[in-house]
Chains A and B, each alone.
Chain A
Amino acid sequence: MTEPELHEALTLPSTLSTVETVEAKANEYAQKAGFDEDTASQISMVSREAAVNAVLHGNKKAPDKQVQATFSLTSENLTIKIADEGEGFDPSVIPDPLSPEGLLRPSGRGIFLMRAIMDEVNFRKLSPGAEITLVKHRNRD
Chain B
Amino acid sequence: MSMNLKIRHVGGVTVLDLSGRITLGEGSIGLRDAIRDALAAGSKKILLNVADVNYIDSAGLGELVGAYTSVKNAGGDLKLMNLSKKVKDLLVITKLLTIFDVKENETDAIAAFA
Contact = CB atoms under 8 A, between A and B. Distances in A.
Interface of A: 16, 19, 38, 41-42, 45, 48-49, 52, 97-98, 103-110, 112-113, 116-117
Contacts, number: 54
A91 to B, nearest CB: 15
A1 B82 CA distance: 45
Contacts of B65: 103-106
Given A19-B24, A98-B94, A103-B99, A45 B55 contact: yes
A113 B62 contact: no
B96 interface: yes
Given A41-B55, A48-B57, A116-B93, A106 B86 contact: no
B86 A110 contact: no
Nearest to B64: A106
A109 B99 contact: no
* Overall SS of chain B's interface: helix
A98 B97 CA distance: 11
A109 B58 contact: yes
Interface of B: 23-25, 55, 57-59, 61-63, 65-66, 68-69, 85-86, 89-90, 93-96, 98-99
A106 B63 contact: yes
A97 B90 CA distance: 13
B57 A104 contact: no
B95 A16 contact: no
A108 B94 CA distance: 11
Contacts of A52: 24, 57, 59
Contacts of A109: 58, 61-62, 94
Given A45-B55, A52-B57, A103-B99, 5 more contacts: A19-B24, A49-B57, A98-B94, A113-B93, A116-B93
A113 B66 CA distance: 18
A38 B85 contact: yes
